[in-house]
Amino acid sequence: MTIRTSTVIALSTSALLCTGPALAEGFSWEGEIEIGNDSVLSSDDPNEEIRDTFASISASGTYTFGNDVEIFASITAESLTDPTEDRTFDDMGVYIEELGVAFEIGDATTVAIGKLSPVFGTAGDDAAGYFGDSLADDYELTEQIGILSDVELNGTGTLSFGVFYADDSALSRSIGFDRGRTTTADGGAGNTGKLNNFVVQWTQETGSTTFHVGARHLSAGQGDVDDEQGMVAGLAHSFDNGFDLYGEVASFSNAGGSADDAVYATLTGAYTIGRLTLSGGLAHRDFDTSGDTDLITIGADYEFESGASIGGGLARVDEAGVKSTVLGMSLIIPLGG
């Protein structure tokens, strides 16, 4: 059982695609180092009782020209396979997560072109806790070639949309552990080599509440049953007492180009006391053929004055009737600034 995806993007396309005052000309960068350990403490399937000691290093940079045109890049180093036995820093590879150019059109529209991360849902970034985003990570869109845009709607939110396809260029390879080059022959929804996949999402912030609604279409790749259609909706609210609530639901027909329909639901809460944040959450995943996965988790994070943080979580996972208890912890050290 693998429920953790350790992809880290220090400076995402969604952060680059924002309008506002003209940015200062020059280069800026940031990143982080994460070192951690995930252990399946017990499981109905003894083969799942695996320890994974891992590291993930990311760095992102932006060069802004005087006319508000930006060139951006994001590089990640991490283990590129799922663990099948106890391991320590195995299968580490370095790859380019994002690379492209962004520019403004007027005062309300920003466009990015290149290798990007289209916006679909926010649970991967906003769900609280160490394991809070574990199931929602399944439907994140990363490493896509395309064109994305953000449009500010005169105080009625932001519309994000774009066309793209799965990166099948030389940038899909990695250095160190070579994961190989993606080709359209690999199949999979969205892996078409054509700009015939699209995503659209509307986000609105009202006081302490933020909500979003989105949709996506991923065309069938080679060998797939049919095109994938997806819908997502979520809400986040911050209470005055330091408690934050987050929820998101996503639904898919022909998930991943298969014959399966799928539903995901994530609900998390976090309570901050000074530099300490306590969290808990529930997550659910339902596929037609492979059955249900249910996750219950609690966690805690502490941020030091330096900006570094240490955190961890305990999760109880029921995956198609196989119950497991997982403990994870990590240290995150920010870079740049």
Q: Rounded to whole angstroms, how far apart are CA atoms 210 and 223?
A: 39
Token pair recorded at residue 108 = 């309300």
Token pair recorded at residue 12 = 């995402």
DSSP, collapsed to helix, strand or coil, labels residue 307 as coil
Q: Rounded to whole angstroms, how far apart are CA atoms 133 and 196?
A: 28
Q: Rounded to whole angstroms, how far apart are CA atoms 92 and 96?
A: 14
Measuring CA to CA, which residue among 179, 164, 295 is closest to residue 219?
164
Q: What is the pLDDT along the chain (337 residues), one digit of tens a residue?
A: 555 443 333 334 444 444 344 456 899 999 999 999 999 999 999 999 999 999 999 999 999 998 889 999 999 999 999 999 999 999 999 999 999 999 999 889 999 999 999 999 999 999 999 999 999 999 999 999 999 999 999 989 999 999 999 999 999 999 999 999 999 999 999 999 999 999 999 999 999 999 999 999 999 999 999 999 999 999 999 999 999 999 999 999 999 999 999 999 999 999 999 999 999 999 999 999 988 999 999 999 999 999 999 999 999 999 999 999 999 999 999 998 6
Give the gyration radius of the chain's Cα atoms: 20
Q: Provide, for the chain, the percentages of residues in helix, strand and coil under a 3-state DSSP scheme, each rounded to the nearest 5.
A: 5, 55, 35
Question: In this structure, how many other beta carbons lie within 10 angstroms of the beta carbon of residue 203?
Answer: 19
Question: In this structure, how many other beta carbons lie within 10 angstroms of the beta carbon of residue 2?
Answer: 16
Domains of the chain with CATH codes: 13-336 (2.40.160.10)
Which run of H or of E encompasses 15? helix 13-16
Q: For tokens 């066309």, name the residue.
A: 163
Residues 6 or more apart whose CB falls under 8 angstroms from that of 224 comprise: 187, 188, 189, 254, 256, 257, 258
Q: What is the DSSP string of 272-300?
A: EETTEEEEEEEEEEEETTTEEEEEEEEEE
Cα separation values, 279 from 130, 276, 335, Å: 9, 10, 25
Question: In this structure, how many other beta carbons lie within 10 angstroms of the beta carbon of residue 202?
Answer: 17
Per the CB < 8 A criterion, the answer to whether 334 and 321 are in contact is no
